[in-house]
Amino acid sequence: MIRSLPGSFGLNHTLAIIALVFGGLALWPWVVAPTAPNSTAPSSFPAANSQITPAVPPRSNFAAIADRPLFSPTRRPTHTDAPAVVGTPFETRYRLIGLVTTETARRAWLAEGARHFDVGEGDTVDGWKVVRVERDRLLLSSSNGQATLTLRRTADPEKPAK
């Protein structure tokens, strides 16, 4: 058995001091109040209540999503090669293929045959105004009425319809 000499630190004393130091460091953020920044000094940081949100990236950054749809079993896009007729209803002419939302912007990706393009709230498509981009649908209005495009799962072309 090793005995510590009087007046010298033993292993237990050293470990106890280390534990107290680490405990103090762990409690430090809750014990010490944060200091307020000097309000007279100019700051290069934005105000605390303003939030910086990134802008929606260009559609070309997401081309792989349209080229290889996630919910298509073949991972190949379903193209309609026939040109759309101008007088057809909006819901049958266009297909909603994706939605991108941030805190400041909402965009929807539409497909008309092989052509893909994006629209945002307030944009117009063939006389239809985009009223709102929601989590799973696109709401439009025109003098002809209202239209809703819903984001839906791509049907499996390998399986027969039930």
Evaluate whether 118 touches 108 at the Cβ level (below 8 Å). yes
Q: What is the CA radius of gyration of the chain?
A: 30
Give me the pLDDT at residue 61, please: 82
Q: CA torsion, points 56, 60, 62, 68, in degrees to nearest 10?
A: 160
Domains of the chain as residue ranges with CATH? 62-150 (2.30.30.830)
| 144 φ, ψ (degrees, to nearest 5) | -85, -10
CA-to-CA distance for 102 and 31, rounded, in angstroms? 37
- Check residue 17 and give its pLDDT: 93
Q: pLDDT truncated to tens, each residue of the chain (162 aa)?
A: 555 555 566 888 889 999 999 998 888 888 877 776 655 555 555 555 556 667 778 878 877 777 777 777 787 766 554 544 555 677 888 889 888 888 888 899 998 888 888 899 999 988 889 999 988 899 999 888 888 998 876 655 555 544
The per-residue pLDDT for 16 is 92
Residue 55: per-residue pLDDT? 77
